[in-house]
Structure 1
Amino acid sequence: MKILVVMTAKATLHLLDGEQHPSGFWAEEFVVPYQLFKAAGHSVDVATIGGLAPTVDQTSVDAAFLRWVRPQGSEDNDAADAAAYLRAIEQTPQLRQPIALESLGEKDVADYDGIYISGGHGAIGDLPKSDELAQVLRWAIAQDKPLATVCHGHTALLALRDGEGRWPFEGYRMTAFSHGEEMVTNMAGRLPLILEVELTRLGARYEKAEAIWDSHVVVDRRLTTGQNPYSSKALAETFLLQLDQG
C-alpha cells in the first residue's frame, strides 16, 4: 500500500500579539506513524505546500519539555524518545525533498491508499489556507480514501466545503487537540484558533480524553482522528486497520 503524509512547512506561527513563535511539525506525530507505516510494509510519500522541507518544532525533541506533553504518571522515556525522534528525522530522506502538494493531480491522489495529516502548531499557519491541499482532500473524499489526522493536523479540514457549501464532516464524531491542552501551552490566549472550538462550530461531535494529554482516537466512517502527540501510536495503528479493511 501507498500512504501520503501531509505536513506543515511553516517554521514559525504568527500569534495574535504579533510574535512569530518558533514552531513547525511535532516530531512524535510524524516519526511514530511513519515508522509504523513502514514497518507494516507500506510505501510512504511526504508532501508539503510548495514542496518546502518541513521544520521540526524544537520543543518536540527536547527531553526536558516532553514530560509536559504526556499523561501524568506515564513512563518516562523522554530522553530516549527525543534522541530516537532526531535520528529518525535525520534518516528520512522524504523530509529533505518532499513532494509539492501543488503538483498532485486527481490521478496522483488515486494512487494512494490513504492520507495521513501530521500535526504541530505550525499547521495552523499554512494547512487551512491552502487551496491546493483542500483540492487534494476533496479528491480523496470523492475517491473514498481513508483519512487520518492528529492534533493540529485537523486544521487542514477546516476550509473544506462540498458543492452545496457545507462542511463535509458535519455530524462526524472526532477528536483533536483540546481547549484544555491549549490553555497550558505558552501560547494560551494568543493562538489564531482553537481546534476544539472550530470543529464544534462547524458541526463536529467533538470528544476528548478525560484527562489532558491522555491518548484518544476516534473513528467515524473513513476519518480517523487523534487528540494529541501521545495519541500518535494508537492513531497510526487504527489507521492501518482502516487501510487493511480497504
Structure 2
Amino acid sequence: MKILVVMTAKATLHLLDGELHPSGFWAEEFVVPYQLFRAAGHTVDVATIGGQAPTVDQTSIDPNFLKWVRPEGSADDDAANAAEYVRVIGSTSQLRSPIALETLGEKDVAGYDGIYVSGGHGAIGDLPKSDELAQLLRWAIAQDKKIATVCHGHTSLLALRDGEGRWPFEGYRMTAFSHSEELVTNMAGRLPLILEVELTRLGARYEKAEKIWDSHVVVDRNLTTGQNPYSSKALAETFLAQLGA
C-alpha cells in the first residue's frame, strides 16, 4: 500500500496579538505514524505546500516539555522519546525534499491508498489556506480514499465544500485538539482559531477523551481522527486497520 503524509511547511504562527510564534510540525505526530506505516510495509510519501522542507516545533523534541503533553502518570520515557524523534527526523530524507502538493493531480491521488495529515500548531498557518490541498482532499473523497488527521492536522478539512456549498464532513463524529488543551498552552487566547469550536460550527459531532491529554481516536466512515499528540500511535494503528479492512 501507499500512503501520502501531508505536513505543514510553516515555521512560525501569526498570533492574534501580532507575535510570530515559533512553531512547525509536532514531532510525535509525524514520527510515530511514519514509523508504524513503514513497519507495516507501506510506501510513504511526504508532501508540503510548495515542497518546502518542514520545520519541527522545538518544544516537541524537548524532553523537559513532553511531560506536559501526555496524560499525568503515563509511563513514557520523555528523554528516550525525544531522542527517537530527533533521530528519525534527522534520518528521513523526505523531510528535506518533500513533494510539492501543487504537483499532485487527480491521477496521483488515485495512486495512494490513504492520506494522513500530520499536525502541529504551524498547520493553522497554511493548511486551511491552500486551494491545492483542498482540491487534493476533494479528489480523495470522490475516490473513496481513507483519510486520517491528528491534532491540528484537522485544519486541512476546514475549507472543504461540496458542489452545494456544504462541508463534506457535516454530521461526522470526530475528535481534534480540544479547547481545554488549548487553554493550557502559552498561546491561549491568542490563536487564530480553536479547532473544537470550528469543527462544531461546521457540523461535526465533536468528542474528546475524558482526561486532558489522553489518547482518543474516532472513526466515522472513511475518516479517522485523533485528538492530540498522545493519540498518534492509536490513530496510526487504527488507520492501518482501516486501510486493511
Structures share a fold, TM > 0.5?
yes
Residues 142-199 of structure 1, C-alpha deviations (whole Å, 9 max, x = no match):
0000000000000000000000000000000000000000000000000000000000
| Counterpart in the other structure of 2:119 | 119
Superposition deviation, residue 211 in structure 1: 1.0
Paired residue for 2:106?
Answer: 106
Partners in 2 of 1:42 and 1:106 — Cα distance? 21
Determine whether 1:146 maps to 2:146: yes
CA distance in 2, matches of 1:117, 1:212: 22
Structure 1: unaligned runs, 5 residues or longer: none
- Which runs of structure 2 are paired with 1:200-215 in the superposition (5 Å)? 200-215=200-215
The one-letter code of the counterpart of 1:222 is: N
| 1:42 partner amino acid | H
Q: How many residues are matched?
A: 245
1:58-98 deviations in Å (ceiling 9; x for gaps): 00000000000000110141000000000000010100000
State how far apart, in whole Å, the 2-side matches of 1:243 and 1:165 are. Answer: 29
- In the alignment, the residues of structure 1 paired with residue 223 and residue 241 of structure 2 have an alpha-carbon distance, to the nearest angstrom, of 12
Give the TM-score of the pair, scaled to structure 1: 0.99
Aligned equivalent of 2:69: 69
> Which residue in 2 is equivalent to 1:192?
192
Superposed CA RMSD:
0.3
Q: What one-letter code is carried by the residue in structure 1 that aligns with 2:44? A: V
Unaligned runs of 5+ in 2: none
Determine whether 1:132 maps to 2:141. no
- Quick one: distance in 2 between partners of 1:134 and 1:46? 17
Q: Matched residues in 2 for 1:67 and 1:73: separation?
A: 9
Instruction: Please state whether the residue corresponding to 1:214 is helix, strand or coil.
Output: coil
- Aligned equivalent of 1:165: 165
Measured in 2, the distance between the counterparts of 1:2 and 1:93 equals 17
Match of 1:85 in 2: 85
For residues 39 and 127 of structure 2, the distance between their equivalents in structure 1, rounded to whole angstroms, comes to 27
The separation in 2 between residues aligned to 1:213 and 1:115, in whole angstroms, is 24
- Give the C-alpha shift of residue 123 in structure 1: 0.1
Cα distance in 2 between the residues matched to 1:195 and 1:20:
20
Matched, 1:31 2:31: yes
1:7 aligns with 2:7: yes
